[in-house]
Amino acid sequence: MAGAARTPRQGAGRGAGGAVSAQLWIALIVGAAAAAEDLARRRVSNWIPLAAIAAGLAWHAWAGGWRGAGSSAAGVGAGFAVFLIFYLLGGMGGGDVKLMAGVGAVLGLERLLEAALWTAGVGGLFALGVLGFEWLRGRMGRPRASGRVEAIPYAPAIALGAWLSLAPKG
């Protein structure tokens, strides 16, 4: 199709000849940085979601023009809104909410719901793993001194959810 406009959906994942798209590279780099920092320091610095928003908006504008930029901007708002309620209820940190807004910019509105569902599933599996570990720890006679399970770093689940949404289907 000569002269056909490339849409962000067509540019996701692997391109012609198996080349990895810029969108996937952005998601990989942002996700790895956020996951590493959250695991090491239990926080996500503001520069990570801000870089994701800037790169996501730029990529979508390049790949889809104004329509792509609009999808990316809508993804920022929707990504922020998806986890805002959990933050307000005290179940999630502010860095995770901002990171999901950055992921929304990278993925765009069309792919954000899929990423949020993958993130919820992966986060649930992580939580089950932590609960299982704590149960085993208690059975071995080594319960936590506080008796309370620590918060689970959620950036790795967000990163995996974004990556899985970009994986080729079928």
DSSP 16: G
- pTM of the entire structure? 0.85
Q: Which residue has the tokens 């990570």?
A: 48
Residues contacting residue 88 through CB under 8 Å, at least 6 positions apart: none
Bridge partners for 170 per DSSP: none
User: Is 55:49 a contact under the CB 8 Å cutoff?
Assistant: no
pLDDT of residue 130: 87
Using CA atoms, how far apart are residues 61 and 24, in angstroms rounded to an integer?
15
The pLDDT value recorded for residue 120 is 95
Whether pLDDT at 4 is above 60: no
At 93-145, the pLDDT tens digits run 999 999 999 999 999 999 999 999 999 999 999 999 988 988 888 888 776 66
Nearest to 100 by CA among 28, 163, 155: 155
Backbone conformation region of residue 104, classed left if phi is above 0, alpha if psi is from -120 to 50, else beta: alpha
Predicted local distance difference test score (pLDDT) of residue 109: 95
Return the closest-CA partner of residue 71 out of 112, 30, 14: 112
Q: Where do we find the tokens 């940085």?
A: 33
**What's the CA gap between 80 and 97, in Å, rounded?**
6
| pLDDT at position 6 | 45
More confident residue, 135 or 20: 135
Q: Helix 155-166 and helix 94-107: axis angle, to 10°?
A: 10
CA-nearest of 55, 37, 53 to 45 is 37
43-79 pLDDT tens trace: 999 999 999 999 999 999 999 999 999 999 999 999 9
